Structure 1
Amino acid sequence: MAKRRCFIKQLIAAGAGLTINATARSVSAAPVKTTQPAPDGFFTLGRQDDHWWLISPDGQPFFTVGINHIDPATLRYPENIDLWRDKYGGSTIRWIQESVTPNLHDWGFNSVGWVQEVTVRKWQHSRSFTIDEYRALDMPYCHLLPFTESHQWEKHTVHYDFRSDDWKEWCDYVARAHCGELAEERNLIGYFYSDCPTWIHSRPDNQWRGPIFDPDRLESEAGRKELIELATLYYATTHDAIRRYDKHHLIFGDRYEANAPIAKQVIDAALPYVDVLSFQDFRDPVTHLPEYHRQTGKPVLLADVARMRWQTAPGEFTHNEGEWYAATLQQLFQTPGCIGFHLCGAYQRNRARRYGLLDEREIPDSENVPLIRQANHRITQQMKTRFPQVQ
């Protein structure tokens, strides 16, 4: 059965003019290399005329248009918990099946980028979905592996010692707990690591711990070599932990903050151990992502992005700007190295994030949701026009 799926995938890809990763076999003389030992029947990567695409388990080109931050706790405030109890019977599975998936399809999203949501500002995110909740979602999705807690917005956790046996044991545990369960899931696109890790930068709220690596040490050759050694150990350890339990899925690695300092040594160390370079960029992704693709040759993913008014007070809410979303999505879709665009949603606003496509009573943003829907459906139509063989 696996060989038959591979053969069908190759036929579809050949009809679309694509080069794909098909283990040792390929439809052209220049196979796309990924970290996947066994990609057949799972999401992988392909290329046509220097344009990179995700390739779905069925062999079809796929540009991920996803939404981030989906948390049912938003429906459990004292003021709206009646909806949770009366409409969904207190069931997260029902809520996903009856609210989340239908709305995402209607709004034109074809994937979920990352489900975890802000709980309290500059605090930890909510939990990820369980495997049963992902199955209820019944859409392609990405999953974040909590190897580190070095997020630029988080202010409580010390940095891990990547050279220690304890951290290596922790990586194996994370992979065993997450990848060991998700390894055969065809809707899983790939794995993220840390959200905006502070490799060589910090923020005012976590200045006390400083960056993972002192940027002043990059002034010397010895310091640059030390960062390469440390980052290589980090990416090799996380990669190897995943591959012990999951031979199939893509690795997206850290979600770098494009508007903070990023050490070249870190990117270079990651390249052999990740399949895609992932970025958060709330300022100028149309400039930054193509530049990283040109510098490295790796496909890139805009893993978190939005435009709204950031400075809001408790009780004050803001909106995603639909016109900006539409223009930016279209430009990145046309960028040869970009494989997707994930909106920093959220699905439903809460009182910490203060923005979302639905309000607390499940009423959609009447101004911006139609603009987002139109933009997403435009991408779907352009994909159908570009690849008529796979419809």
Structure 2
Amino acid sequence: MMRTTKRRSFLRSSLAFGCGLAATPLLNSAQASEVKTTQVEASGFFTLGKRNDHWWLIDPAGKPFFTMGLNHIDPASLRYPENVDIWREKYGGSTLRWIKESVAPNLKDWGFNTVGWVQEVTVKKWQHSRPFTIDEYRALEMPYCHLLPFTESHQWEKHTVHYDFRSEDWKEWVDYVARSHCAELADEKNLIGYFYSDCPTWTHDRPDNQWRGPIFDPERLKTEAGRKELIELATSYYKTTHDAIRRYDKHHLLLGDRYEANAPIATEVVNAAKPYVDVLSFQDFRDPVNHLDEWHKKTGMPVLLADAAGVNFRSEEFFKPNNGPWYAKTLAGLFENPGCIGFHLCGAYQRNKARRRGLLDEMEKPDGQHVEQMTTANEQISQKMAQMFQN
């Protein structure tokens, strides 16, 4: 699968730099402490730092890290009737073997240094697949992020009512999520941090979920009383989630909601989030380089493109090809943004019949030219990082 000795050799050296094995640290402990995060104990875990007015992730060994991730990695894509024999015969029906023998080697060969978010579309506008278990994450042997299911207000989801963020029931649910997920992951060195909702509908909706409306009626933002109420509601949401996580995990970054950059995002929501998250995360399929630059300038906070792809959704093809040139241009543009800490591609790893795209097809054949272009783009960023911080 496109693996060569030369490429493996290059990637071992460049990824070693990004994963904490390089000789020269970006920040010493005193410099790193100048950046305030929500972390209670950050030493030995991923954190944030600045150098020359640029935000960076800092890996557990104190080295710079620009996250280049792939999203949506689901073993069910290899269990269709037409390919289940591969699953059984090649991987022995074991998800751990599949991760160790397929997922991790391919991602590293393609120059990705992070698993951005593993959950995948199952049926359009239904729930995503399950997250990885702790053992499955460990099998990756590479950095990853994890999403916490505090609320189901995703803009693509059409079945779930909004939770009342002021209710005791919801607060009890938040604590359950935190102790269920975070208590188990709290000491994992490869975990970068936690996402919350995927594109929450704070002040917007979509045709399929107009029946429930947005979390907060945007018409009420026309009055001072309405704006004040949204601030109070969003503050309750972010403080409750923050406090619950920190009861069980003192170490990892809070990456927050993954806002839809092309829908209305109320300033009141972002301002309420800022004291309780470490990064502002976004989905953006239209103009991510400019939009993330705007949000960094507005807020002064580090930003992450947590989900995006340059897909031609108007194509009549059932399976949509990826877009290597778009990926390369977007990655290079984001890297120049002094507030951007990375880019996670809305892949998926292997296409299924719901998302209809992936870097591998159902028979494990790579998406040819596009994967090569993405690999080259990732390698170029790794080379730049090595050059910038070699001394």
TM-score range, shorter chain: over 0.9
Q: How far apart are residue 375 of structure 1 and its match? A: 0.3
Quick one: distance in 1 between partners of 2:337 and 2:307?
Answer: 17
Q: Does residue 1:219 correspond to 2:213, yes or no?
A: no
Quick one: distance in 1 between partners of 2:227 and 2:328?
Answer: 40
| 1:9 aligned partner | none
| 2:331 aligned partner | 329
Quick one: distance in 2 between partners of 1:274 and 1:111?
Answer: 20
Q: Does residue 1:101 correspond to 2:104, yes or no?
A: yes
Count of matched residue pairs? 371
Q: Which residue type is aligned with residue 61 of structure 1?
A: P
Q: Which residue type is aligned with residue 368 of structure 2?
A: S
| Percent of aligned positions that are identical | 73
| 2:239 aligned partner | 236
Q: Which residue type is aligned with residue 243 of structure 1?
A: R
Q: Does residue 1:210 correspond to 2:233, yes or no?
A: no
> Residue 218 of structure 1 contacts residue 224 of structure 1 at CA under 8 Å; is this kept in 2?
yes
Give 1:354's match in structure 2, choosing from 353, 356, 372. 356
Secondary structure of 1:367's partner? helix
> Residue 96 of structure 1 contacts residue 137 of structure 1 at CA under 8 Å; is this kept in 2?
yes
Q: How far apart are residue 27 of structure 1 and its match? A: 3.2
Deviation string, structure 1 residues 211-244 (Cα, Å, up to 9, x no partner): 0000000000000000000000000000000000
| 1:342 aligned partner | 344
Quick one: distance in 2 between partners of 1:62 and 1:36?
Answer: 18
Give 2:379's match in structure 1, choosing from 357, 377, 381. 377
Give 2:312's match in structure 1, choosing from 297, 309, 312. 309
Give 1:245's match in structure 2, choosing from 243, 248, 261. 248
How do 1:2-21 residues align onto structure 2 when only pairs under 5 Å count?
A: 18=27
Quick one: distance in 2 between partners of 1:76 and 1:376?
Answer: 30
Quick one: distance in 1 between partners of 2:343 and 2:157?
Answer: 24
How do 1:19-30 residues align onto structure 2 when only pairs under 5 Å count?
A: 22=29, 26-27=30-31
Quick one: distance in 1 between partners of 2:315 and 2:97?
Answer: 32
Moved more, 35-44 or 303-312: 303-312
Q: How far apart are residue 308 of structure 1 and its match? A: 1.1
Secondary structure of 2:31's partner? coil
Quick one: distance in 2 between partners of 1:14 and 1:251?
Answer: 28
Quick one: distance in 2 between partners of 1:41 and 1:361?
Answer: 40
Quick one: distance in 2 between partners of 1:368 and 1:94?
Answer: 26
> Residue 164 of structure 2 contacts residue 170 of structure 2 at CA under 8 Å; is this kept in 1?
yes
Quick one: distance in 2 between partners of 1:205 and 1:181?
Answer: 35
> Residue 14 of structure 1 contacts residue 27 of structure 1 at CA under 8 Å; is this kept in 2?
no
Give the RMSD, CA atoms, in angstroms. Answer: 1.5
> Residue 322 of structure 1 contacts residue 369 of structure 1 at CA under 8 Å; is this kept in 2?
yes
Q: How far apart are residue 334 of structure 1 and its match? A: 1.1
Q: Does residue 1:121 correspond to 2:124, yes or no?
A: yes
Quick one: distance in 2 between partners of 1:187 and 1:273?
Answer: 22
> Residue 44 of structure 2 contacts residue 61 of structure 2 at CA under 8 Å; is this kept in 1?
yes
Change (3 A) 1:214 1:233: same
Change (3 A) 1:347 1:13: closer
Q: How far apart are residue 14 of structure 1 and its match? A: 12
Quick one: distance in 1 between partners of 2:281 and 2:112?
Answer: 19
Q: How far apart are residue 309 of structure 1 and its match? A: 1.5
| 1:166 aligned partner | 169
| 2:83 aligned partner | 80
How do 1:181-196 residues align onto structure 2 when only pairs under 5 Å count?
A: 181-196=184-199
| 1:149 aligned partner | 152
| 2:265 aligned partner | 262
Unaligned 5+ segments in structure 2 are 1-20
Q: Does residue 1:33 correspond to 2:22, yes or no?
A: no
Deviation string, structure 1 residues 170-206 (Cα, Å, up to 9, x no partner): 0000000000000000000000000000000000000
Change (3 A) 1:14 1:48: farther
Q: How far apart are residue 15 of structure 1 and its match? A: 6.0
Quick one: distance in 1 between partners of 2:70 and 2:24?
Answer: 30
Change (3 A) 1:154 1:348: same
> Residue 79 of structure 2 contacts residue 87 of structure 2 at CA under 8 Å; is this kept in 1?
yes
Unaligned 5+ segments in structure 1 are 1-11
Q: How far apart are residue 320 of structure 1 and its match? A: 1.3
**Please, what TM-score do these two structures have when normalized by structure 1?**
0.93
Secondary structure of 2:197's partner? strand
Change (3 A) 1:56 1:199: same
Deviation string, structure 1 residues 31-63 (Cα, Å, up to 9, x no partner): 000000000000000000110000000110000
Quick one: distance in 1 between partners of 2:62 and 2:97?
Answer: 31
Secondary structure of 1:27's partner? helix
Quick one: distance in 1 between partners of 2:31 and 2:187?
Answer: 25
Quick one: distance in 2 between partners of 1:131 and 1:310?
Answer: 34
Q: How far apart are residue 311 of structure 1 and its match? A: 3.8
How do 1:170-181 residues align onto structure 2 when only pairs under 5 Å count?
A: 170-181=173-184
